[in-house]
C-alpha cells in the first residue's frame, strides 16, 4: 500500500526544529505532496537559520523514509530573507564567461550552484511556441561548441524533456539523498517527469513547485557544467516570476513565434525578467517561416520578422530565426532532436549559430542587481 499524507505527517510530528517545536506544529513546513510512494515537502526558514535546520531536514527525510510504502523522499530546505535585511554572503556563484565552470563569490541574487558556470532560462510568455524544442536544440548546439551542458525541465506541471530526449528510467539516488541526473546525447538532464508517472496528474501548490525546482537544481549531482539550460514553463504568472527570482539565472532567452499575439506574450516575458533584474540574452523567432519539405519554397505564413522588430524595439539582441519545418517537429516529438541526429541539416546549423550567440551573450551578461535571496 502506498503511503498517504497522514502517515507522513505522523512521522514528521516526531521531528523537532532547532527550537524544540515539532515540525508539524511550527511554521516552516510546506504542504506535503505524496504521490505513488514519492514524498515531496519543503521547509522555509530564515536564511541565517539554515545551518541549524540542515540536521532537521535530514532527520525529517529519514523519518519519512521509514514510513511503510514510501519509496523516495525529497525534502528541501529553503532559506528566506526578508526584504531589506542584509544579504548573507554567498559562498559560491556563477561567474561571467563560459571558459569553464568556476565557483567564487556571487555578486548578488540567489546563491549559485557550485560547479555550474551559468544558468540560462529559455522562456516565452505563451505556451506551445517551441520553448522546449528550442531549449534542447540550443543545449545541443552549446554542446557542439565544446561546452559541458545540462538541461533542467522547470515545467513541473507538464514536463516534456523525458519525451523530447527519449530518456526512460528513473534517476539513481546517490549518497546524501542526492540524485544523479539522467543523460541523453551528451547532456545531463533532470525533469520531474523522471520522478512521477506520466499518467498521474500531480496537484502542485505554489510552495511545492518551488521546493521541487529547488531540489532539482541543488540536490542533483550536476557535476561540472559550463551551462545549465532551464526549459521554463509557459506564462508570466507568479510561478514563473518566483522561479525567475529564485533560480540564480545568468540570463534568459525568449522564444516567440512571429504573430502579434505571441509577441505580446514575449513582451510580457521580457518585462518579467527585467523586473527581477535577469538580463535578457535575446529573442529567438521560432516557426519564423515555412520551408516546404518537398520543393524548398519558403513562405512567411505567420508574418515573418515580428520577433526581430520587437527585439529591436525593446533593445534586446535578436538571436536568430528557426523555420517551421516538419523535420524539426518530427525529430523533436520522437526524442531525436535535430542537432544531435541530423547535425548537417540546415536547421541544425541555425541552432548552432544561435548557440554561438547565446554563448557570447552569457559571457558579457551583466550581473543581476540585488533582489530577495533564497538559499538552500
Ligand atoms: N521550428 C519548428 N518547426 C516545426 N515544429 C516545431 C518547431 N518548434 C516546435 N515545434 C513543434 O511544436 C510543438 C510545440 O513545441 P514545444 O513543445 O517545444 O513548445 P513549448 O513552448 O515548449 O510548449 P509548452 O508551452 O507546452 O511547454 C511540438 O510538437 C514541436 O515539435
Ligand atoms: Mg515546453
Q: Whose CA is nearest to atom 16 of ligand 1?
A: 130
Phi, psi of 356 (to 5 degrees): -60, -45
Burial bucket for residue 128 (CB in 10 Å: 0-12, 13-18, 19+): exposed
Q: Whose CA is nearest to atom 31 of ligand 1?
A: 329
Ligand nearest the Cα of residue 161 is 2
Q: How close is the Cα of 30 to the center of ligand 2, in Å?
A: 27
> pLDDT averaged over consecutive 10-residue blocks of the chain (376 residues)?
87 94 88 78 78 89 93 75 40 36 45 88 90 97 96 89 93 85 97 75 66 85 95 80 81 90 85 89 91 78 82 91 91 95 95 96 64 37
- Inter-CA distances, 339 with 41, 150, 286, 291, 353, Å: 37, 15, 15, 17, 11
178's grid cell: 542526492
Among 249, 212, 207, 254, which residue's Cα sits nearest to residue 234? 254
Q: What pLDDT does residue 295 have?
A: 81
Q: What pLDDT does residue 298 have?
A: 80
Q: What pLDDT does residue 259 have?
A: 82
Phi, psi of 68 (to 5 degrees): -60, 135
Q: What pLDDT does residue 281 have?
A: 96
Q: How close is the Cα of 332 to the center of ligand 1, in Å?
A: 8
Q: What pLDDT does residue 372 have?
A: 35
> Pocket residues for ligand 1 (CB within 6 Å)?
124, 127-133, 155, 158, 160, 234, 286-287, 322, 324-325, 328-329, 332-333
Q: What pLDDT does residue 80 have?
A: 62
Q: How close is the Cα of 139 to the center of ligand 2, in Å?
A: 14
- CB 73 within 8 Å of CB 65: yes
Helix, strand or coil, per DSSP, at residue 226: strand
Q: Distance between CA 207 and CA 271 in Å, rounded?
A: 23
| Ligand 2 is an ion; residues with CB less than 5 A from it | 131-132, 160
DSSP 79: E
Q: How close is the Cα of 127 to the center of ligand 1, in Å?
A: 9
Amino acid at each position: 500500500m502506498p503511503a498517504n499524507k497522514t502517515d507522513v505527517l505522523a512521522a514528521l510530528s516526531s521531528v523537532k526544529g532547532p527550537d524544540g517545536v515539532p515540525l508539524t506544529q511550527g511554521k516552516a513546513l510546506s504542504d506535503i505532496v505524496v504521490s505513488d510512494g514519492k514524498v515531496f515537502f519543503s521547509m522555509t526558514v530564515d536564511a541565517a537559520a539554515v545551518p541549524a535546520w540542515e540536521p532537521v531536514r535530514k532527520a525529517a527525510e529519514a523519518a519519512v523514509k521509514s514510513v511503510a510504502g514510501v519509496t523516495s523522499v525529497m525534502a528541501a530546505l529553503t532559506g528566506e530573507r526578508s526584504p531589506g535585511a542584509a544579504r548573507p554572503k554567498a559562498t559560491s556563484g556563477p561567474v561571467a564567461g563560459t571558459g569553464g565552470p568556476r565557483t567564487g563569490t556571487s555578486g548578488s541574487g540567489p546563491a549559485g550552484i557550485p560547479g555550474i558556470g551559468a544558468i540560462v532560462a529559455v522562456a516565452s510568455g505563451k505556451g506551445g511556441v517551441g520553448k522546449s524544442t528550442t531549449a534542447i536544440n540550443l543545449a545541443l548546439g552549446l554542446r557542439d561548441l565544446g561546452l559541458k551542458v545540462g538541461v533542467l525541465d522547470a515545467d513541473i506541471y507538464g514536463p516534456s524533456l523525458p519525451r523530447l530526449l527519449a530518456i526512460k528510467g528513473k534517476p539513481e539516488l546517490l549518497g546524501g539523498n542526492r540524485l544523479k541526473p539522467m543523460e541523453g546525447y551528451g547532456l545531463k538532464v533532470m525533469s520531474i517527469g523522471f520522478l512521477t508517472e506520466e499518467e498521474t496528474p500531480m496537484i502542485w501548490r505554489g510552495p511545492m513547485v518551488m521546493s521541487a525546482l529547488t531540489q532539482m537544481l541543488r540536490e542533483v549531482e550536476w557535476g561540472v557544467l559550463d551551462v545549465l539550460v532551464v526549459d521554463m514553463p509557459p506564462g508570466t504568472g507568479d510561478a514563473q516570476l518566483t522561479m525567475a527570482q529564485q533560480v540564480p539565472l545568468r540570463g534568459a532567452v525568449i522564444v516567440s513565434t512571429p504573430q502579434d499575439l505571441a509577441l505580446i506574450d514575449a513582451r510580457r516575458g521580457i518585462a518579467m525578467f527585467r523586473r527581477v533584474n535577469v538580463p535578457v540574452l535575446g529573442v529567438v523567432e521560432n516557426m519564423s517561416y515555412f520551408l516546404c519539405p518537398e520543393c524548398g519554397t519558403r513562405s512567411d505564413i505567420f508574418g515573418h520578422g515580428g520577433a526581430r522588430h520587437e527585439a529591436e524595439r525593446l533593445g534586446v539582441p535578436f538571436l536568430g530565426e528557426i523555420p517551421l519545418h516538419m523535420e524539426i517537429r518530427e525529430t523533436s516529438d520522437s526524442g531525436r532532436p535535430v542537432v544531435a541526429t541530423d547535425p548537417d541539416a540546415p536547421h541544425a546549423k541555425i541552432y548552432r549559430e544561435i548557440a554561438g550567440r547565446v554563448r557570447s551573450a552569457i559571457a558579457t551578461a551583466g550581473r543581476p542587481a540585488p533582489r530577495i535571496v533564497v538559499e538552500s
